[in-house]
Amino acid sequence: MGSDLPRLEDFERIVFFTGAGLSAESGIPTYRGSGGLWAQYDYEDFACQRAFDRDPAKVWTFHDERREAVAACEPNLAHRIIAKIQREKTATRIVTQNIDGMHQRAGAVDVIELHGSLWRVRCDACGAEKEDLGLPLLPKRCKCGAWWRPAIVWFEDPLNFDVVEAAVRAIEACDCLVGIGTSGEVYPAAELPLIAMRAGAVTLEINPEETPLSPLYTHVLRGPATEMMALLAG
C-alpha cells in the first residue's frame, strides 16, 4: 500500500466485484474454507435441485435458517462506501457472487447478482420469479402448482446467461475493477476479473489472503474489506 495506490475518485467507470469475504464482517458466514458453510453441510442434502426434488420442506427449512441469519445482520462500512461511490459516480457497477442482499440494504441499486438472491423465489415449471421477503418462507406452491424454490444458483445449476452477459458488459467497460472478498475459486464467475485485466483496466484486489488471481491484479491490498475500502475512498 505505497504511494502508487490509486484513488477511486480518479476513475469514472468502477466495477466492484464482490464475494463472501465482503459480508463476513457483517457476521455472515463464508461458504468455503475453514468454518465455511459447506464444511458443515453437504450440499447434496441442502443445495441442489436433486435435494429439492426429494424433500422441498427440508431444503426450504435450511434456506429459511440462512435468511433468518442474514436478516439479523447489517451492511458493514464497505457495503456503505460502495453504495456511496455508486451514488456519486453513476457509471459505477456492482457485480456480486453474494446472495445476501447486503448491497441493496446499504443503498446500492441495479446490483448484478451472479448467483441470485435469498430474497427472491422462482418457479422452474412456468418461469415465474418474484421477490419474497417473508420469514419463514417454507414450501409454497406457485399458481401453476409447482413448488417455488429459492432463486439462487445451487450446486449443479448453470448461471443465468443474461445475468452473466450483463456482468461481462459492465466489466468490459470499466476503467477500474475492485475485487473484494472473492476466493477466485468459484467458476465461471472467478474468470470475470480477467476481462478487465486483459482490457487494461486498473485492477485492485482486497482480500486478507492470497487468491489464485492475486498475481494478476495491478494492486493487492491485504486486510479487512472495511479498512481497505475506507483507505481507497480517502
Q: Could you confirm whether 63 is annotated as catalytic?
A: no
Q: Where in the chain is the domain with CATH 3.30.1600.10?
A: 29-72+120-152
Fold of 1-27+75-115+159-234: Rossmann fold (3.40.50)
Neighbours of 161 (CB within 10 A): 8
Predicted confidence (pLDDT) per residue in 200-220, tens digit: 999 999 999 999 999 999 999
What is the H or E stretch that residue 21 is in? helix 20-24
Give the active site residue among 63, 79, 103, 115.
115
Predicted confidence (pLDDT) per residue in 39-71, tens digit: 777 888 999 999 999 999 899 999 998 999 999
Q: What is the DSSP string of 112-178?
A: EETTEEEEEEE-TTT--EEE---SS----B-TTSSBPEEEE--BTPPPPHHHHHHHHHHHHT-SEEE
Under 8 Å between Cβ of 121 and 151: yes
Fold of 29-72+120-152: SIR2/SIRT2 'Small Domain' (3.30.1600)
pLDDT at position 141 is 87
Question: Is the overall model pTM greater than 0.75, yes or no?
Answer: yes
Q: Where in the chain is the domain with CATH 3.40.50.1220?
A: 1-27+75-115+159-234
CA dihedral defined by 95, 87, 80, 196, rounded to 10 degrees? Answer: 30
Report residue 95 as a C-alpha cell. Answer: 457485480
pLDDT at position 1 is 39
Q: How confident is the model at residue 2 (pLDDT cuts 50, 70, 90)?
A: very low
pLDDT at position 132 is 84
Tell me how far apart the alpha carbons of residues 134 and 111 are, in angstroms, rounded to a whole number. Answer: 21
